[in-house]
Structure 1
Amino acid sequence: MKIKAQMTMVLNLDKCIGCHTCSIPCKNVWTSRAGAEYMWFNNVETKPGIGYPKNWEDQGIYQGGWTAENNRLALAAGGRVTKLARIFNNPHLPQIDAYYEPWDYDYGSLITSPVKKHQPAIRPRSQITGNSMEIQWGPNWEDDLAGVCETGAADTNFAGLDAQKYLEFEQAFMLYLPRLCEHCLNPACAASCPSGALYKRDEDGIVLVDQARCRGWRYCVSGCPYKKVYFNWKTGTSEKCIFCYPRTESGMTTLCSASCVGRIRYVGVILYDAERISQAASAADPKEIYPALVDMMLDPNDPKVLDEAEKQGISEAFLKAAQKSPTDKLMRKWRLALPLHPEYRTLPMVWYVPPLSPIQTGTENKNPDEALSDMRIPVKYLANLLAAGDEAPVRRSLKYLMALRAYMRSLRLEKTPDKSILDQAGLDGKLDEATVLEIYDLLAIGKHKDRFVLPTAPTPDQADMRMTQGEKGFE
């Protein structure tokens, strides 16, 4: 057993309001310079839709991630020989139109315009060529289902469903999907790089790009199935989300998490067995990847795990953070959160709590399974998005959330807690009153110190500094 620590994030889609407040500080701090205009390390997509860049989920187009044959992993876009043969022609690389050609306006012409009969106007101007252009796509083009009548049918998450039925006005549904780099345990971007410029930090698992080694081959862009590596056309190197490591190293959370008005984000540490990465990623059936991924995660409160982790050099700060980690609870302990497209076999470490949605008919005499099948958002759609098409883990998570809501309603409104709700959920006896209250405290009213638990490196002057500012009472 080889124990490693990994920085992780969980996003509660049940609370995301699609305000994009997470994207703006990230953009202002990390990509506000020439060549990075079109980069959005964090963006919020409206589902259904093809996303940003266009059709990023369609690996038939981009060949991102891994494939597995006879329990052997291989890059979907081909290995070294294939890449060498195509080193000057990468057919799976997204073009600028899949993102958008960045533009600005000549605002000075409005100020210097002479007196005219009509209001002066300005046209968008390409920041790449300097020429006038027509705007045809953008990072939030499908926001709030805008244009979904044209793009929605191409959403790959409709597999097994009648897309046209759910795109009709009466049947339409919507959810917000904030996205960032997954900082995977088995990153295809790093494996795709001929220069070895992408690497996974040993101490916390954050995936970064060494700007000094990057030669701009852009195989990392096509290799990433989530399309969260970008090419800076000005510097000629690739860039990506850095999980705000200058902040996390000081015990502060990421900018996207700190700015989230809905409190949907949770950041923490998990422990996992690195020797099981290949086994989990190469599972014959894609539906087996999520269970294998959960099984890789280790209980940070297990004395045997702690003893072995200390022997292998995991710092006390990381071990303490893992024991209090909100993400460990949501991912491993309660299994409320699920990975985004585990079938890509990269073993992503940014997970999502699936959203509940209105039940379309009366709920009287409905058991939980019937209620789930009658929800506005099809369970199959969520399963395609978060569980490689397997509905079982999605239904399990949604049952927890339904039972939580019903029980807390009986407790807070009716003043008579109905314990039978927990039994009816059919959750193999694991959802007791104490667990329900703990989940409620974290998901509904979680405070800063509960949602973000990060380790910090000890300094000579402050050797006892271990947890976040939130742990010290910061709100």
Structure 2
Amino acid sequence: MRVMAQVAMVMNLDKCLGCHTCSVTCKQTWTNRDGVEYAWFNNVETRPGLGYPRGHEDQERWRGGWELDGRGRLRLRSGGRLRRLAHLFANPDLPTLDDYYEPATYDFDTLVTAPADESRIPVARPRSALTGEPMAVTAGPNWDDDLAGSPVHAAADPVLAAMTEQVRLSFEDTFMFHLPRICEHCLNPACVSACPSSAMYKRVEDGIVLVDQDACRGWRMCVSACPYKKVYLNHRTGKAEKCTFCFPRIEAGLPTVCAETCVGRLRYLGLLLYDADRVAEAAAVPAPADLLDAQRSLLLDPSDPEVVAAARRSGIAEDWIDAARRSPVWDLIARYQVALPLHPEYRTLPMVWYVPPLSPVLDATGARGGDDADADDVFHTITGLRIPMEYLAGLFTAGDTDRVAGVLLRLAAMRAHMRRRSVDGSADPALLERVGMSAEDVEAMYRLLAVAKAADRHVVPAAHTERAAELASWASGCSLDGPGGPGMSPTASRGGVVPLTLRRRRPR
């Protein structure tokens, strides 16, 4: 057992408002500059819908993630070394600008310099941020926002396309929800394996996946290999960029910008301990429906004395082990088992997990004439409402509807139990027995999901370094403001010492 640490995130989708505050603050911090106008390290998608870039989940088209060969071994869907070498200069699996959108600016000078003429109202016409030419705005990073019932947008959803005709035609009557997405910082990242120049790497100390801008040669194989399409090409520098998990803030013990500014307080940050020796084994489980259990089995109980001893032997500091014990991410993923990974069938072992939305199920309960406060009515609705179950399972459990139903039943039991406690102070042992949880666990899960303060939602241990003061200074300005980003600073280009936090660790 080789214990390693991973900074991870869980998002409670019941709380997402679709306000895009996380996207805007991330944009202002990391990609508010030339070359990455179209790149959104964080975006919020309406589901069902096409997402961003459009149809990014269609791996028959994009060939992202991993698959098993005829002998059950992992291989990149984008092909082996020979195929990547053959397409080094003409990669056929890259999204085009149309799959993203052409970023626009506006001719604001017209508004400022227009003469005072009541008969003519000046208009700031859109112009391409890339060419400067006039253009019509026909797409954007959240173009299908709040349009999940639209046959134009929902019908082209790759997850819906895999379902029956009845499901796809009636899905608009079921529910809509928002899905925030960032880089998954996977345990088995396809982007790292596909990079010909080893510029993409996963940090040993905290598992964050980064790009060494000095080593990147712009081959864009990482863009193709990432099944979540969360790697972008900076068209000015010709280098790849992606979500950095706000590593300067993480190193200073602070939450990511998206978590710090989230209006719905739906993001949970924490440390996980996992067995690095079993990552390849877990990713190569034959049945896609078994990947969830395989990934959970990698996560180690930070309260287990054997795990703690192994973590110490691996050089993990005591305060990091303590942070892993207090981690809300560990509680939601492993203790309460209400968080699920996004598309485990990609076999990348993602480390951004989601608590599926329960509110649409409560709405459906009322529409059927049931009582959304009655656990039996809610349970009946969950088990009978196959349409959203199929869709949620297509996102989070590789199609296993029973696993999604189990999570929703547990969340419904929590609501029913807490409502009963609030009304008359009673408890229903049979209700808790049905979901295999004690009253103490249910109430602790409620406190975490409903009323937890920032200190309980974000448990981030500071990095251990002699240059802690420098790390703290980075926390106040962690954007890629230098030309080309990390590793491309004037000091680095002159052959000087690259800051400690930006040095490339040896890839695993």
* TM-score, normalised relative to structure 1: 0.93
Alignment of 1:42-441 (within 5 A): 42-69=42-69, 70-116=71-117, 117-145=119-147, 148-158=150-160, 159-161=162-164, 162-168=166-172, 171-356=173-358, 357=360, 358=363, 359=365, 360-363=367-370, 366=376, 369-375=379-385, 378-423=388-433, 426-427=434-435, 429=436, 431-441=437-447
- Equivalent residue for 1:451? 457
Deviations 1:103-143 (A, max 9, x none): 10110111111234220113210111111111121111010
Inter-CA distance 166–414: structure 2 relative to 1 (3 Å threshold): farther
Instruction: Give SS of 1:14's match.
Output: helix
Instruction: Give SS of 1:234's match.
Output: coil
How far apart in 2 are the matches of 1:200 and 1:281? 17
Inter-CA distance 214–56: structure 2 relative to 1 (3 Å threshold): same
The Cα shift of 1:369 comes to 4.6
- Equivalent residue for 1:32? 32
Letter of the 1:198 counterpart? M
How far apart in 2 are the matches of 1:460 and 1:379? 50
How far apart in 2 are the matches of 1:413 and 1:291? 37
The Cα shift of 1:395 comes to 1.2
The Cα shift of 1:459 comes to 5.8
- Equivalent residue for 1:14? 14
Instruction: Give SS of 2:28's match.
Output: helix
Instruction: Give SS of 1:98's match.
Output: coil
How far apart in 1 are the matches of 2:271 and 2:44? 24
Letter of the 1:11 counterpart? M
Letter of the 1:81 counterpart? L
- Equivalent residue for 2:500? none
Give the conservation status (yes or no) of the 8 Å contact 2:148–2:154. Answer: no
Inter-CA distance 403–200: structure 2 relative to 1 (3 Å threshold): same
- Equivalent residue for 1:473? none
Higher mean C-alpha displacement, 296-305 vs 363-372: 363-372
Instruction: Give SS of 1:178's match.
Output: strand
The Cα shift of 1:289 comes to 0.7
Tell me the C-alpha RMSD between the 2 structures. 2.0
How far apart in 2 are the matches of 1:45 and 1:143? 7
Instruction: Give SS of 1:9's match.
Output: strand
Instruction: Give SS of 1:239's match.
Output: strand
Letter of the 1:165 counterpart? L
How far apart in 1 are the matches of 2:49 and 2:129? 27
The Cα shift of 1:317 comes to 2.4
Deviations 1:136-166 (A, max 9, x none): 2111101011683212112122223434423
How far apart in 1 are the matches of 2:236 and 2:167? 40
Structure 1 stretches of 5 or more lacking a match?
A: 464-468, 470-475
Give the conservation status (yes or no) of the 8 Å contact 2:199–2:215. Answer: yes
Deviations 1:170-190 (A, max 9, x none): x14200000000000000011
Give the conservation status (yes or no) of the 8 Å contact 2:171–2:388. Answer: no
How far apart in 1 are the matches of 2:353 and 2:9? 6
Number of residue pairs aligned between Structure 1 and Structure 2:
459
The Cα shift of 1:461 comes to 10
How far apart in 2 are the matches of 1:147 and 1:390? 24
How far apart in 2 are the matches of 1:461 and 1:22? 29
Letter of the 1:37 counterpart? E
How far apart in 1 are the matches of 2:245 and 2:465? 22
How far apart in 2 are the matches of 1:282 and 1:136? 41
Structure 2 stretches of 5 or more lacking a match?
A: 470-474, 476-508
Give the conservation status (yes or no) of the 8 Å contact 2:278–2:298. Answer: yes
How far apart in 1 are the matches of 2:387 and 2:184? 24
Inter-CA distance 218–270: structure 2 relative to 1 (3 Å threshold): same
How far apart in 2 are the matches of 1:232 and 1:136? 22
How far apart in 2 are the matches of 1:368 and 1:272? 35
- Equivalent residue for 2:504? none
How far apart in 2 are the matches of 1:78 and 1:315? 39
Higher mean C-alpha displacement, 380-389 vs 449-458: 449-458
Letter of the 1:84 counterpart? L
- Equivalent residue for 2:481? none
Higher mean C-alpha displacement, 238-247 vs 376-385: 376-385
How far apart in 1 are the matches of 2:468 and 2:148? 52
How far apart in 2 are the matches of 1:297 and 1:459? 26
Give the conservation status (yes or no) of the 8 Å contact 2:107–2:124. Answer: yes
Give the conservation status (yes or no) of the 8 Å contact 2:147–2:153. Answer: no
Instruction: Give SS of 1:45's match.
Output: strand
Inter-CA distance 371–211: structure 2 relative to 1 (3 Å threshold): same
Give the conservation status (yes or no) of the 8 Å contact 2:65–2:76. Answer: yes
Letter of the 1:265 counterpart? R
* Percentage of identical aligned residues: 51
Letter of the 1:76 counterpart? R
